[in-house]
Chains A and B, each alone.
Chain A
Amino acid sequence: MTPKRFRPKNYRRTLTYLAAGILIAAVTLYLALPILALIIRMSPDMFFDTLHNPEVISALWLSLFTTVTSLAVVILVGTPFAYYHSRYSYPGKVIVDTLIDLPLVLPPAVAGVALLVLYGRVGLLGRYFNMLGISLAFTTLAVIMAQIFVASPFYLRQAKSLFEQLDPAYEQTARTLGASSLRTMTLVTLPMTAGGLVSGAVMTFGRALGEFGATIMFAGNLPGVTQTMPLAVYVGMESNVTVGLTISILLVIISFTIMIAVRLIQKREVYHA
């Protein structure tokens, strides 16, 4: 008699499980191994020693300052924009929709070139700023502008979709109860979309932190002024590998924390239509 595990039905099931196991292991290893290699390449002592390196500290603080500033601008301007955009129809809305998504598919270097051509010293608008003594390109402000351009779609898309999905009946009820538009926004609309908005903001923060192409094109690579962490990794790998690896590990830690935060936030209830 044929052993049980070799009977056709069980045999097929075993094969399916085996194939699935191999596939999951392969994908997991492909994603995890480079990160693992990066972490085991450095001893913890060396990592913590290099953290005191002025280049690392300077890049870390500049990155945090510019990223937090970019995020604040995106949230303050992007939230009301996404609300009005999702609730009202206006001519050219489709074009605006496309423009919101464009930075997601545009190579960051191209975004940097575009910003330079517009705001650079001889750029379309930059020349007028320059006449007023205002220089935008190759400054810390340019880093923030590049980050906003590249990372804002993550927040805008999320906020737009959340406002579209929220049943207007909640806001209408609040209005009939005597709440002003502002009160309705702060007590009903924003709390009911908060989980998704925070998740979009965290993704924007992550994207802005890792921004490289647009920054190097538009803001350059000046230590202490425009050299953010990704740029410092690039320079470090050419001159001081330890610095490059330390900043890389720091970025991995921050990115991992961001993804865990997003997962936790996404578990919160979102009230849809």
Chain B
Amino acid sequence: MLEAVMVKRLRDYTLDFTISVKSGEIMSLMGLNGSGKSTALNIIAGLLEADTTTITLHGECLCRTEDDLDVPVEDRRIGYVLQNSAVFPHMTVRDNVAFGLRARRLGRPVVAERAALWMDHMHIGDLADVRAGNLSGGQKQRVALARALAIEPGLLMLDEPFTALDADSTQTVKDLTRRFVKKMQIPCIVVTHRVADSTEIGDRACVLCKGKKEWEGIPGEMPEICSVCRCA
């Protein structure tokens, strides 16, 4: 389970946000551009410092500013697929998927075996030796997902993973995300703009507006007044 409380003064407003996601649950984080979604994810990942924050993952404290406790980003074991730059374009698909495993200094046979397994899970095994920069948008997202899950993370975060994907690829990425989040029983946060995506993938949804939580609940019950994109 993930529990995070954070306060950070930004240029136009203060991000004052609390989020709680159960193991095996997908929380879709919604809000207009600049509402603080990516900032919140970056704080949880340890890429950005908050003014005050407490982040607990599966009972282990990752960050608590009042105690000066801060687990370094590389040790947080969070699978984070950032917006746009999903894969390392100069590496092959295999090297992308194996990146986190090699960084954790696992033995060669283990790296090879796990990378092959995850490429198989994501249906990208036949692309193993292709340079990731040459893949389509949907394939890149699957590579990024495989790479993030291969490290057996305690938390999965996807920042706008469906942007620039066609309908088929979007559905594939959604299905794979749901399948492995449930299977691995890890909390998952998916940032998305569209209510349709949120309804389909999210067990719960949370709407951020200018750094404050505007609404939280079951995606299908989201009231019309929420500041989110309702395009199909």
Contacts from A to B (Cβ < 8 Å): 167, 169-170, 172-180, 183, 187-188, 191-192, 269, 271
| Inter-chain pairs besides A172-B42, A174-B88, A183-B103, 13 sampled, C-beta below 8 Å | A169-B82, A172-B45, A172-B82, A173-B85, A175-B47, A175-B73, A175-B74, A176-B80, A178-B77, A179-B99, A180-B103, A191-B90, A271-B133
Give A271 to B89 CA distance when docked, in angstroms.
8
With both beta carbons as reference points, the residue of chain B lying nearest to A177 in the complex is identified as B100
Interfacial chain A residues near B104, Cβ < 8 Å: 178
Give A175 to B82 CA distance when docked, in angstroms.
12
Give A269 to B91 CA distance when docked, in angstroms.
13
Question: Residue A176 contacts which of B76, B84, B90 (CB distance < 8 angstroms)?
Answer: B76
Q: Does B75 contact A (CB under 8 A)?
A: yes
Give A169 to B86 CA distance when docked, in angstroms.
8
Q: Are B85 and A177 in contact (CB under 8 A)?
A: no
What distance in Å separates the Cβ of B48 from its nearest Cβ neighbour in chain A?
9
Give A124 to B100 CA distance when docked, in angstroms.
52
Q: Are A178 and B85 in contact (CB under 8 A)?
A: no
Q: Does B63 contact A (CB under 8 A)?
A: no
Question: Residue B103 contacts which of A169, A172, A179, A191 (CB distance < 8 angstroms)?
Answer: A179
Q: Are B73 and A167 in contact (CB under 8 A)?
A: no
Residues of chain B from 80 to 117 with CB closer than 8 A to chain A in the complex: 80-85, 88-90, 99-100, 103-104
With both beta carbons as reference points, the residue of chain A lying nearest to B83 in the complex is identified as A169
Interfacial chain A residues near B82, Cβ < 8 Å: 169, 172-173
User: Lowest 9 A-B CB distances belong to which pairs?
Assistant: A177-B100, A169-B85, A178-B103, A179-B103, A176-B80, A169-B82, A175-B73, A167-B85, A178-B74
What distance in Å separates the Cβ of A46 from its nearest Cβ neighbour in chain B?
48
Number of contact residues on B: which range applies?
20 to 34
Q: Are B88 and A176 in contact (CB under 8 A)?
A: no
What distance in Å separates the Cβ of A29 from its nearest Cβ neighbour in chain B?
41
Interfacial chain B residues near A172, Cβ < 8 Å: 42, 45, 47, 80, 82
Interfacial chain A residues near B57, Cβ < 8 Å: none
Q: Are A177 and B89 in contact (CB under 8 A)?
A: no
Interfacial chain B residues near A173, Cβ < 8 Å: 80-82, 85, 88
Interfacial chain B residues near A174, Cβ < 8 Å: 88, 99, 103
Give A183 to B99 CA distance when docked, in angstroms.
10
What distance in Å separates the Cβ of A52 from its nearest Cβ neighbour in chain B?
45
Interfacial chain B residues near A177, Cβ < 8 Å: 74, 99-100, 103, 147-148, 151
What distance in Å separates the Cβ of B88 from its nearest Cβ neighbour in chain A?
6
Give A170 to B103 CA distance when docked, in angstroms.
15
Give A169 to B47 CA distance when docked, in angstroms.
10
Q: Does B78 contact A (CB under 8 A)?
A: yes
Give A177 to B91 CA distance when docked, in angstroms.
15
Give A192 to B78 CA distance when docked, in angstroms.
24
Report 5 cross-chain contacts, Cβ distance below 8 Å, ordered by A residue: A169-B83, A172-B47, A175-B74, A176-B74, A179-B103
